[in-house]
Amino acid sequence: MKLESFDRQLTVINVGLETFAESVRAQGVEVVDVDFRPSPYDAPRLYRTRAGVDIEAANAEAVRRIASGKAVLVGLGIARDVIPGMRDQMILHAGPPITWDRMCGPVRGAIIGACLYEGWAQSPDDAAQLAAGVGAQLVGVQLGGAQLVGAQLIAPLRFEPCHHHHAVGPMAGIISPSMPVWIIENAAFGNRAFCTLNEGLGKVLRFGAFAPEVIEKLKWMETTLYPALDRAVRSMDGGVDIKNLIAQALYMGDECHNRNKAGTSLFLRAIAPALARTCGDRETIARVIEFIDRNDHFFLNLSMPAAKALTEPAEGIEGATIVTTMARNGTDFGIRIAGLPGQWFVAPAGRVKGLYFPGFTEADANPDMGDSTITETAGFGGMAMAGAPAIVKFVGGVPQDALDATLEMYDICATEHNTFLIPALNFRGAPLGIDVRRVVETGISPRLNTGIAHKEPGIGQVGAGLLRAPIECFVAAFEEMRPTTDDR
Amino acid sequence: MIVQTLIKPGEYRDSVALMLIARELTALPGVADVSVVMGTPANKAVLAQAGLLNDAANAATPNDLLIAVKAKDDAAARAALHKAQELLAQRAASPQIGSAARPRTLRAALRATPGANLAIVSVAGQYAAAQAWDALRAGLHVLLFSDHVAVEDEIALKEYARDQGLLLMGPGAGTALINGVGLGFANAVPRGNIGIVAAAGTGLQEVSTLIAKAGAGITQGIGTGGRDVSERVGGIMMLEGLRALQADPKTRVIVIVSKLPAPSVTEKILAQVGTSDKPTVLALMSNLSLRGAIFATKQSPIREVEIASHKTLAMTARDLREAAALAVALSRGESVNAARKKLAAEDRALAIKARALRRKLNARQRYARGLYSGGTLCEETMRIWQASLGAVWSNAPLDPKFKLPDSNQSRRHTVVDLGEEEFTIGRPHPMIDNSVRVKRLLQEARDPSVAVIALDVVIGYGAHPDPAAELGAAIAEAKAIARKRGRELIVVASVTGTENDPQSLSRQTIALKKAGTIVLESNAVVAKFASCIVG
């Protein structure tokens, strides 16, 4: 029997009666007192799957893959050319699968905008009609293939989640075939992820706006911004290491989900020389730099696909209960876990608590929306709140709340990130790898940072705030993994 | 001088963190210069100036972490690069932040305090096993205070712990003394050279405090939980604890404290005792002599050891007080027989004092009552009274024949264990709250057949902050009740505790004496004294 601790100083963890912790502390011994609360779901401990797979080992492999991945911006491309499985007449959206009839206002608005942008419809009404027809077909009403919309014959649209195509999109997350997208490569595992370019604030497609100026801006992005950035990135040897920029931004007060000031600045700094060298037109250079500089969230559309590229290699590890996807479509919140990659576990999307722009209230808010929660899945965003104390202002909090938020997330995560570090927590790694078992055991659901869209299409962002993921998704995933007997 | 480099592609650290690593590496023997930087052109230029830039380093990109070492030879350079990897992999614990941020799980607590090595688990029984598993799997020893843990879980936990070289003390283990720290209900006992392994929590408290009162001290006090010595559990932790103490160089003498184990477990314990030459005292709360016990164990090798040689000095103690006295004598190399004689002399003096007091009682006052908070002390009193007085009634009797039909009503000689579940459902344990005992004390005082009431007062960590205040007032009132009815009531008690306990042994003793209590050194003496009064 090795009882080497007979020679070591005692350090105690107390789970239960506080008096025991107090009396140990009174003897000058370091003691950590756990704030134990029973699982609200009366869930047994899961150590093995029904098939006998060691969950702990599977999860260790999942988080090892996520932490050891690379995320390098290698270039840009047009969605139809670069996104696997992207076809004409296809529209990708945020969150789990959904049909037109159940889509929320902003997602419908963004789809209408995409139809106008692609030239599939000449008016918002035509676009809605086109989209609705497809929706009806998807829910089972046979319309016989092509249909007449306005004066032209249009093939039916097909809606699929971005996540089914290695892509992610903020808010409505709409990607249509002609849109330019970032290409992020995970060199360690050979996979790629995609995301559109961030349009900026105000009236923008991702919040469901489809006014002419929205479409005009998208066209400018396609014809001017995209080629300029693509040339610049491709001229840079080895591209731009986005994972590295995220790690730096976390040192600078970003959590790279709801705050991207530092990340955007770092990116601009990284790309500016190449941009100047590869673009012949000074005015274009100036406008590109201006566009990036005036949008504090420009980096979000890089941090998101980076997160996607990092998490995807964990998908398909048998028995792993680590969350690889959290995404919302404005109606439903869905998660997927590493051990069951094809399966969505869905619950109604939550309401965001936050600050509203002048003239708007909670009554105007659409439920939680977007694929941006991929950041929390990958070990930053809400997980790294302690590194971004400025964000707690959204809910009237104090910096201590930001620290507490991250500390709480350690309770439900499998490990700590080896690269995404948090200075305020003595450079501890950010919590990484949400484990559905721990969510169910503790009743603590992941904290999310997010923007708030108006519930009506075409209005745009009305605020920003914080919320938690609906725990029902995690309970459903847990139940799916739970073996019939409690096996340790 | 040679230069060696290591490139960690895509790894990012803040420059301050990197400078700290460089400083630590520079201090290594044989190392002349170190640079740990991101591989930017500017950094590489600085490296080149310092003569640290070789071809490998020159290939590093701004996204790569670059470590360059100039050392006197290959071995020194390699050692420095190895250390660099180690430092890069190191994770600091986060600073203690306000109580609002208490971890919700044992795993999270452990991540914040990577050096933790022992867990105290006292959550409700149905959640306790899972918490104990978390702790064991993380490599922590466990004091499992919780009751109502399934015996299957106990066996699985203990087998796992044994295979990992860990202690799983419990379930139902209220007391442990590990590395001089009292855990659960424990006392401030000095360090010494006597090790205790106990399947009886208050037994461990009583023996360790009696050892302290005698001026000796404890190495480790390992609790196993009462069910450990049952046939089903098979004494897994009793044996592991015993082995640990046998192997511990600081432990010179071992005391085993337990209610009578299952015969097969007794056999295993005795066999294990026989493997070591450390003197061992067995307080098995039985009236068996060791020779009797050996006889009962058939072919146990200890018989030969004990009978044929004096190599293993193993002896039984009749009670906890004798166990402590023998252990102290052994620990000092003093004569065991002299120690036994001293106890016998004390007993005789006590008997004389008891007889003198007896004259104050009337003829109807014939019975002794014991009101106990500690289960082991309760049993000790029952055994002593049974030997001298015969039948002893109880809610937890030695002989099922004498189970009280109503635990709230005493009969003849009665000892009540107020720590039993029937008294503690929805109420704190009597070591924390004496209200049930106070009520019962006053009830016994009104009984004209009662001559003497015996009490245990257990102090120390976890116990009531001032039990003598609560009990003293009640004792004074009980004596007043009896006096009003024209009789004398004798109350005798011992205080299980030490001077360094938060409640202070002397302060408790004085308060009890002021209330008219006869305070004696140990519970065994209290029981003997009471039995002399009515016997």
Quick one: which of A364, A366, A363, A370 has its CA closest to A450? A370
Which residue blocks in B277-335 are alpha helix, DSSP H?
A: 290-296, 302-308, 320-331
| pLDDT score at B247 | 92
Q: Quick check: B220 contacting A, CB < 8 Å?
A: yes
Rounded to an integer, what distance in angstroms lies between the CA atom of residue B193 and that of residue B130? 35
**pTM higher than 0.80 for the full model?**
no
A152's enclosing H/E stretch is strand A152-154
Whether residue A411 and residue B107 make contact (CB cut-off 8 A), yes or no, is: yes
Question: CA nearest A38 in B: which residue?
Answer: B127
* Exposed e or buried b per residue across A395-415, where buried means at least 16 C-beta atoms within 10 angstroms of its C-beta: bebebebbbbbbbbbbbbbbb
* Same domain, yes or no: A109 and A227: yes
Burial group, residue A477, by CB count within 10 angstroms (0-12, 13-18, 19+)? buried
- Residue A484: pLDDT band by 50, 70, 90 thresholds? low
Whether residue A404 and residue B100 make contact (CB cut-off 8 A), yes or no, is: yes
Question: CA nearest B9 in A: which residue?
Answer: A70
* Same domain, yes or no: A63 and A74: no
User: What CATH number is associated with residue A292?
Assistant: 3.90.1710.10
Smallest Cα distance from A183 to chain B, Å = 18
Residue with the two structure tokens 């990484």 = A432
Higher pLDDT, A487 or B529: B529
Which B residues 149-208 touch A at CB under 8 Å?
Answer: 156, 162, 165, 167, 178-179, 181-184, 188
Burial group, residue B422, by CB count within 10 angstroms (0-12, 13-18, 19+)? exposed
Cα A487 to chain centroid, rounded = 34
Whether residue B179 and residue A10 make contact (CB cut-off 8 A), yes or no, is: yes
Q: Which CATH architecture has domain B106-343?
A: 3-Layer(aba) Sandwich (3.40)
Rounded to an integer, what distance in angstroms lies between the CA atom of residue B392 and that of residue B404? 10
| pLDDT score at A4 | 52
Pairing of strands A240-241, A72-78: antiparallel
| End position of a domain, from candidates A281, A304, A327 | A304
Side chain identity, residue A42: D
User: Within 10 Å of residue B16's Cβ, how many Cβ atoms?
Assistant: 10
Residue of A10, A34, A247 with shortest CB distance to B181? A10
* Same domain, yes or no: A267 and A283: yes
Cα dihedral A440, A442, A444, A446 in deg (nearest 10):
-60
| Residues A341, A315 contacting (CB under 8 angstroms) | yes
Q: Quick check: B426 contacting A, CB < 8 Å?
A: no
Mean pLDDT of B79-106: 74
Higher pLDDT, B522 or B51: B522
pLDDT above 50: residue B297: no
Mutation for A interface: B14, B18, B94, most A CBs within 10 A: B94
| Residues A377, A323 contacting (CB under 8 angstroms) | yes
Percent of chain B with pLDDT over 70: 92
Q: What's the Cα-to-Cα distance from B89 to each of A218, A249, A424, A429, B197, rounded to whole Å?
A: 45, 21, 19, 11, 40
Rounded to an integer, what distance in angstroms lies between the CA atom of residue A488 and that of residue B191? 39
Side chain identity, residue B171: P
Cα B382 to chain centroid, rounded = 24
In a domain, A395, yes or no: yes
* Same domain, yes or no: A63 and A82: no
pLDDT above 60: residue B77: yes
The predicted complex's ipTM stands at: 0.80
| pLDDT score at A150 | 45
Rounded to an integer, what distance in angstroms lies between the CA atom of residue A26 and that of residue A44? 35
Average pLDDT over chain B, rounded to an integer? 88
Longest CA–CA span in chain A (Å) reads: 86
3-class SS of residue B121: strand
Cα B77 to chain centroid, rounded = 49
Flag the least confident range among A87-91, B278-282, B309-313.
B309-313
In a domain, A428, yes or no: yes
| End position of a domain, from candidates A284, A304, A324 | A304
Rounded to an integer, what distance in angstroms lies between the CA atom of residue B356 and that of residue B360? 8
Q: Where do the structural domains in chain B lie, given as residue ranges?
A: 2-93, 106-343, 360-534
Smallest Cα distance from A425 to chain B, Å = 5
Number of domains chain A is built from = 3
Average pLDDT over chain A, rounded to an integer? 90
- Residue A92: pLDDT band by 50, 70, 90 thresholds? very high
pLDDT above 80: residue B193: yes
Token output for B185: 């209900």
pLDDT above 50: residue B306: no
Rounded to an integer, what distance in angstroms lies between the CA atom of residue B118 and that of residue A335? 36
A332's enclosing H/E stretch is strand A332-337
Residue of B12, B97, B104 with shortest CB distance to A35? B104
pLDDT above 80: residue B14: no
Radius of gyration in angstroms for the set of CA atoms belonging to chain B, rounded to a whole number: 30
| Residues B7, B61 contacting (CB under 8 angstroms) | no
* Same domain, yes or no: A290 and A414: no
Radius of gyration in angstroms for the set of CA atoms belonging to chain A, rounded to a whole number: 23
CATH, domain range B2-93: 3.30.70
| pLDDT score at B125 | 84
| pLDDT score at A151 | 40
| pLDDT score at A144 | 42
Which B residues 78-137 touch A at CB under 8 Å?
Answer: 89, 91-95, 97-98, 100-113, 115-124, 127, 130-131, 133, 135
pLDDT, tens only, B127-148: 899 999 999 999 999 999 988 8
Token output for B91: 């994770």
* Same domain, yes or no: A334 and A187: no
What are the two backbone dihedrals, phi and then psi, of residue A85, each rounded to the nearest 5 degrees?
Answer: 80, 0
Token output for B229: 């010595």
pLDDT above 70: residue B302: no
3-class SS of residue B249: coil
| pLDDT score at B292 | 41
pLDDT above 80: residue B516: yes
Token output for B310: 């004096």
Angle between helix B505-514 and B467-484 (nearest 10): 20
3-class SS of residue B430: coil
3-class SS of residue B84: helix
Smallest Cα distance from A20 to chain B, Å = 6
3-class SS of residue A327: strand
Flag the least confident range among A178-182, A466-470, B33-37, B117-121.
B33-37
Mutation for B interface: A4, A17, A22, A23, most B CBs within 10 A: A23
In a domain, A486, yes or no: no
Q: Do domains B106-343 and B360-534 have the same CATH topology?
A: yes
- With contacts defined as CB-CB under 8 Å, which chain B residues touch A16? 120-123, 131, 145-146
- Residue A44: pLDDT band by 50, 70, 90 thresholds? confident
pLDDT, tens only, B361-392: 999 999 999 999 988 999 999 999 998 999 99
3-class SS of residue A353: strand
Side chain identity, residue B292: G
Which residue blocks in A251-398 are alpha helix, DSSP H?
A: 261-278, 282-293, 300-311, 374-377
Rounded to an integer, what distance in angstroms lies between the CA atom of residue B36 and that of residue B27? 14
Sign (positive/negative) of CA torsion B470, B473, B477, B483?
Answer: positive
- In this structure, what DSSP letter does residue A7 have? G
Smallest Cα distance from B301 to chain A, Å = 22
pLDDT above 50: residue A485: no
Mean pLDDT of A309-319: 97
Token output for A288: 């590109």
Whether residue B92 and residue A426 make contact (CB cut-off 8 A), yes or no, is: yes
Rounded to an integer, what distance in angstroms lies between the CA atom of residue B393 and that of residue A441? 46
Rounded to an integer, what distance in angstroms lies between the CA atom of residue B165 and that of residue B117? 12
Smallest Cα distance from B91 to chain A, Å = 6
In a domain, A101, yes or no: yes
Quick one: which of A68, A89, A71, A70 has its CA closest to A80? A89
Residue of A13, A20, A441 with shortest CB distance to B110? A13
Who contacts B282 (Cβ-Cβ below 8 Å, separation ≥6)? B255, B256, B269, B273, B290, B293, B314, B315, B316, B317, B323
Residue of B109, B110, B244 with shortest CB distance to A3? B244
Quick one: which of B460, B446, B476 has its CA closest to B508? B460
Quick one: which of A432, A403, A342, A329 has its CA closest to A371? A329
- With contacts defined as CB-CB under 8 Å, which chain A residues touch B240? 1
Q: What's the Cα-to-Cα distance from B180 to each of A24, A234, B212, B252, rounded to whole Å?
A: 11, 66, 13, 16
Residue of A1, A32, A244 with shortest CB distance to B109? A32
- With contacts defined as CB-CB under 8 Å, which chain B residues touch A407? 94, 97, 101, 103, 108, 112
Omega cis (within 30) before B171: yes
Whether residue B183 and residue A248 make contact (CB cut-off 8 A), yes or no, is: no
pLDDT above 50: residue A265: yes
Mutation for B interface: A2, A4, A6, A64, most B CBs within 10 A: A6
CA atoms within 13 A on the CB side of B42: 1
Mean pLDDT of A76-100: 96
Question: CA nearest B38 in A: which residue?
Answer: A244
Rounded to an integer, what distance in angstroms lies between the CA atom of residue B339 and that of residue B128? 43
In a domain, A46, yes or no: no
Which A residues 427-486 touch B at CB under 8 Å?
Answer: 427-429, 438, 441-442, 444
- In this structure, what DSSP letter does residue B411 have? -
Smallest Cα distance from B205 to chain A, Å = 16
| pLDDT score at B167 | 94
- In this structure, what DSSP letter does residue B262 have? P
Mean pLDDT of A335-360: 90
pLDDT, tens only, B456-475: 999 999 899 999 999 999 99
Fold (topology level) of B360-534:
Rossmann fold (3.40.50)
pLDDT above 90: residue B102: no
Rounded to an integer, what distance in angstroms lies between the CA atom of residue A288 and that of residue B82? 45
* Same domain, yes or no: A381 and A437: yes
* Same domain, yes or no: A341 and A431: yes
Q: Quick check: B473 contacting A, CB < 8 Å?
A: no
pLDDT above 50: residue A209: yes
| End position of a domain, from candidates A271, A304, A337 | A304
Question: CA nearest A36 in B: which residue?
Answer: B104
What are the two backbone dihedrals, phi and then psi, of residue A368, each rounded to the nearest 5 degrees?
Answer: -45, 140
Token output for A488: 């340790």
Who contacts B362 (Cβ-Cβ below 8 Å, separation ≥6)? B486, B487
Mean pLDDT of A263-286: 96
- Residue B497: pLDDT band by 50, 70, 90 thresholds? very high
Whether residue B103 and residue A244 make contact (CB cut-off 8 A), yes or no, is: no
In a domain, A145, yes or no: no
3-class SS of residue B152: helix
Whether residue A419 and residue B135 make contact (CB cut-off 8 A), yes or no, is: no
Domain that residue A207 falls in = 70-137+150-304
Question: CA nearest B13 in A: which residue?
Answer: A419
Cα A25 to chain centroid, rounded = 42
Which A residues 22-81 touch B at CB under 8 Å?
Answer: 23-24, 26-27, 29-30, 32-38, 44-45, 70
